[in-house]
Amino acid sequence: MLKTLLILGIIALIIWFFFIKKRPTKTNHHPQADSMVECQKCKTFIMQNEAILSNGSYYCSKECLLQG
Ligand SMILES: [Zn+2]
């Protein structure tokens, strides 16, 4: 009876360990995926990972980059 409880406890610990371990790796992979940036030309907010970065400024498209 005690052995069964011990095994169940170890299984629970393993599940908990994997659940905790998976969370930080997910956020570290895309740290800026959710942040929005403003286009220097048309002032539209776009996702940082979709924006074009030029001379420290963000642009929503190639058209804005060439005009700005
Ligand atoms: Zn733009």
Which neighbouring-strand residues pair with 59? 52
Q: Give per-residue pLDDT as tens, 15-68.
A: 998 888 766 555 555 554 578 999 999 999 999 999 999 999 999 999 999 997
Residue 30 has a pLDDT of: 53
* Domain extent at residue 39: 32-68
pLDDT at position 41, please? 96
Do residue 24 and residue 44 come from a single domain?
no
What pLDDT shows up at residue 26?
Answer: 55
DSSP calls for the chain: -HHHHHHHHHHHHHHHHHHHHHHHHHHHH-TTTT-EEE-TTT--EEETTTSEEETTEEESSHHHHHH-
Q: What amino acid is encoded at 34 in this protein?
A: D
CA of 3 to the centre of ligand 1 (A): 65
What is the distance in A from the centroid of ligand 1 to the CA of 41?
5
CA of 28 to the centre of ligand 1 (A): 28
Please indicate, yes or no, whether residues 51 and 36 belong to a single structural domain of this protein. yes
Same domain, 61 and 38: yes
- Average the pLDDT over 7-12 and give the result: 96
Question: Do 38 and 16 lie in a common domain?
Answer: no
What spacing in Å lies between the alpha carbon of 34 and ligand 1's midpoint? 19
